[in-house]
């Protein structure tokens, strides 16, 4: 591969990454707005019920997708698109089986809404809430799979506009409108669900042209397409359900083994912990199709360089956020209200675990885009198993803190195993010297700012404000240095691995 082609891959990943990061930032802001609206409006008990049913439908939707969304992300870049290609044949093959499963699950869930509500919720509207959640499962499944097709066929901006802008902006707006109209938890959940239906319609329209549907592309799968596609997707079916349920298992078990209020605290803490993944999510959206194409073509060296470049960006942008989150957990939780102060210790535990999660970079994406969905499943099963076992042991006595420790252990275990397998897939070390040096530098700088803020004003909002001001001043001072700007301009994925 020529140096020019290599530079083209770098530019492509950089442009896509910038769009993904911008979308992820907006998604994070409005996700926080949504969480704040929920906990401020419904309190610990009401938010516990609402988060529990969101977790229920999230897990059900992920299970019913059968891994077809990730399957499309892996398969479509390896097929020719348009009338003469085989990419369009993958769409009905990927959509119809999961949609059939989703309809069956929806029917069973609606029929069993009463017992499910009594087991998980204390809310008087619990049965109606569970019925509405299961009724939305087919919509969620179809939207998830079609959005994956958009992500694999359109520029990343199309996916970002729907998934990172439309849906997260509409949800808090509709939920606030429901509250102003005098609605309770049931109407609030309707506001959470409705934007998914809009996303489904938009995604369906967006995939028509790039796949050549209506322009002569065949939609009839060939016999060989089924084992090729589902041989990858089915192992992913289990691991994607585990990915989706990692936090929600803790919410549900905390509600069942402790109290619904503890579940509400843990859910709020978990939303903060997940918010810090926005950088990684934005870059994953941008580079996953590129990694699938490079690894599918056997260009592992280029894939490794793209991976190391994104890892550098993730560490530079995410580690300071998690270190600040751990140091000033009481300040962040104060924004939710006095009921959530007990979440400071769980939040600090999860923030430390997330340093490992973001520190290893896109190992999960590398593993999946290399075609090793079985290895990814093994890593996620190990993480979930440890999470569940520790929840059963720790939650009855320690509530939200026990759930946080359990989830943290699962996060570290899953990422350690995935990193080993991703190293084999790339055939090169995962990290270069630049990533290691930057990790140490941002840790030292953030730690110094956090310590100064804590010593001057404590771990509340004043201390947080001081720490953020120091970090901002330090960043501006570095950027004003011409040598630093030149060093940043020279950063590229061709660095020698450590």
The tens digit of pLDDT for each residue in 220-236 reads 899 999 999 999 888 87
Q: Is the pLDDT of residue 39 over 50?
A: yes
Single out the residue of 53, 40, 230 nearest to residue 130, CA to CA: 53
> How does the average pLDDT of the chain come out, rounded?
85
Within 8 A by CB and 6+ apart from 385, the residues are: 410
Residue 326, pLDDT score: 93
The model carries a pTM of 0.71
3-state secondary structure 66-78: CCHHHHHHHHHHH
Q: Name the band, by pLDDT with cuts 50, 70 and 90, for residue 382.
A: very high
- Report d(CA 221, CA 41) in Å as an integer: 49
Residue 337, pLDDT score: 75
- Three-state secondary-structure class, residue 497: strand
Question: Residue range 263-283: average pLDDT?
Answer: 81
Residue 497, pLDDT score: 42
Q: Name the band, by pLDDT with cuts 50, 70 and 90, for residue 194.
A: very high
In a domain, 495, yes or no: no
Distances (CA, A) of 78 to 38, 83, 112, 224, 366: 42, 16, 42, 15, 15
Number of domains in the chain: 1
Question: Residue range 361-366: average pLDDT?
Answer: 90
Q: Is the pLDDT of residue 498 over 80?
A: no
The more confident residue out of 2 and 348 is 348
Extract the tokens encoding 269. 């803490």
- Report d(CA 428, CA 496) in Å as an integer: 10
In a domain, 106, yes or no: yes
Q: Name the band, by pLDDT with cuts 50, 70 and 90, for residue 487.
A: low
Q: Name the band, by pLDDT with cuts 50, 70 and 90, for residue 15.
A: low
The more confident residue out of 246 and 375 is 375
Report the 10 Å Cβ neighbour count for 154. 17
Characterize 95-133 residue by residue with b for buried, 16 or more Cβ atoms within 10 angstroms of its Cβ, and e for exposed: bebbbebbeebbeebbeebeebbeebbbbebbbebbbbb
- Report d(CA 435, CA 238) in Å as an integer: 32
Report the 10 Å Cβ neighbour count for 464. 24
Extract the tokens encoding 427. 């055939």
Residue 64: give the domain boundaries: 3-490
- Three-state secondary-structure class, residue 33: helix
Q: Is the pLDDT of residue 370 over 60?
A: yes
The more confident residue out of 447 and 3 is 447
In a domain, 299, yes or no: yes
In a domain, 383, yes or no: yes
Q: Name the band, by pLDDT with cuts 50, 70 and 90, for residue 7.
A: low
Characterize 472-481 residue by residue with b for buried, 16 or more Cβ atoms within 10 angstroms of its Cβ, and e for exposed: eeeeeeeeee
Residue 44, pLDDT score: 64
In a domain, 439, yes or no: yes
Q: By mean pLDDT, which of 15-19, 31-35, 39-43, 410-414 is the weakest? A: 15-19
Distances (CA, A) of 34 to 40, 149, 175, 336: 10, 27, 8, 11
Query: Mind listing the pLDDT tens digit for each residue in 70-88?
Result: 899 888 888 888 787 788 9
Residue 446, pLDDT score: 94
- Report d(CA 193, CA 189) in Å as an integer: 6
In a domain, 171, yes or no: yes
Question: Are 223 and 361 spatial neighbours (Cβ–Cβ below 8 Å)?
Answer: no
Single out the residue of 401, 419, 407, 399 nearest to residue 383, CA to CA: 407
Helix (H) or strand (E) holding 316: helix 300-327
In a domain, 199, yes or no: yes
Residue 8, pLDDT score: 54
Residue 127, pLDDT score: 86
Characterize 243-277 residue by residue with b for buried, 16 or more Cβ atoms within 10 angstroms of its Cβ, and e for exposed: bbbbbbbbbbbbbbbbbbbbbbbbbbbbbbbbbbb
Query: Mind listing the pLDDT tens digit for each residue in 288-302?
Result: 878 888 888 888 988
Distances (CA, A) of 462 to 75, 162, 218, 426: 50, 37, 62, 45
- Report d(CA 462, CA 300) in Å as an integer: 48
- Report d(CA 392, CA 321) in Å as an integer: 30
Question: Are 27 and 326 spatial neighbours (Cβ–Cβ below 8 Å)?
Answer: no
Question: Residue range 368-390: average pLDDT?
Answer: 90
Most confident of 11-25, 31-45, 269-283, 378-392: 378-392
Q: Is the pLDDT of residue 492 over 50?
A: no
In a domain, 96, yes or no: yes
């Amino acid at each position: 591969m020529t140096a020019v082609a290599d530079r083209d891959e770098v530019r492509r990943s950089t442009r896509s990454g910038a769009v993904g990061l911008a979308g992820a930032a907006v998604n994070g802001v409005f996700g926080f707005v949504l969480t704040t609206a929920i906990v401020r409006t419904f309190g610990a008990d009401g938010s516990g019920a609402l988060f529990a049913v969101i977790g229920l439908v999230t897990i059900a939707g992920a299970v019913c997708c059968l891994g077809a969304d990730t399957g499309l992300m892996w398969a479509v870049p390896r097929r020719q698109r348009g009338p003469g290609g085989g990419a369009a044949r993958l769409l009905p093959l990927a959509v119809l089986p999961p949609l059939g499963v989703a309809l069956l699950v929806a029917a069973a869930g609606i029929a069993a809404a009463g017992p499910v509500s009594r087991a998980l919720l204390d809310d008087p509207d619990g049965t109606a809430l569970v019925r509405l959640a299961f009724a939305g499962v087919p919509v969620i499944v179809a939207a998830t799979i079609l959005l994956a097709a958009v992500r694999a066929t359109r520029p990343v901006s199309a996916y970002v506009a729907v998934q990172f802008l439309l849906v997260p902006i509409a949800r808090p707006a509709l939920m606030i409108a429901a509250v102003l109209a005098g609605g309770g938890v049931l109407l609030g959940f309707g506001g959470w669900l409705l934007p998914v239906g809009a996303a489904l319609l938009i995604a369906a329209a967006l995939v028509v042209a790039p796949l050549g549907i209506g322009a002569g592309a065949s939609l009839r799968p060939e016999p060989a397409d089924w084992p090729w596609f589902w041989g990858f997707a089915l192992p992913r079916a289990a691991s994607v359900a585990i990915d989706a349920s990692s936090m929600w298992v803790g919410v549900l078990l905390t509600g069942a083994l402790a109290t619904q209020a503890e579940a509400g605290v843990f859910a709020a803490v978990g939303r903060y912990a997940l918010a810090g993944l926005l950088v990684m999510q934005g870059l994953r959206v941008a580079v996953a199709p590129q990694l699938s194409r490079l690894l599918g073509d056997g260009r592992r060296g280029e894939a490794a360089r793209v991976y190391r470049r994104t890892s550098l960006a993730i560490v530079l942008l995410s580690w300071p956020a998690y270190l600040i989150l751990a140091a000033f957990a009481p300040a962040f939780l104060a924004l939710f209200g006095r009921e959530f102060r007990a979440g400071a210790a769980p939040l600090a535990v999860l923030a430390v675990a997330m340093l490992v999660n973001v520190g290893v970079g896109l190992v999960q994406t590398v593993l999946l885009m290399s075609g090793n969905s079985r290895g990814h499943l093994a890593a996620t099963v190990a993480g979930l198993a440890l999470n569940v076992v520790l929840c059963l042991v720790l939650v009855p006595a320690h509530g939200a803190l026990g759930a946080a420790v359990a989830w943290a252990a699962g996060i570290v275990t899953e990422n350690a195993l995935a990193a080993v397998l991703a190293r084999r897939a790339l055939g090169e070390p995962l990290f270069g010297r630049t990533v290691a040096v930057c990790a140490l530098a941002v840790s030292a700088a953030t730690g110094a700012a956090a310590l100064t803020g804590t010593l001057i004003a404590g771990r509340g909002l004043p201390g947080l404000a001081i720490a953020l001001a120091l970090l901002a001043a330090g960043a501006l001072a570095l950027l004003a240095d011409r040598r630093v700007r030149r060093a940043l301009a020279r950063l590229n994925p061709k660095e020698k691995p450590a």
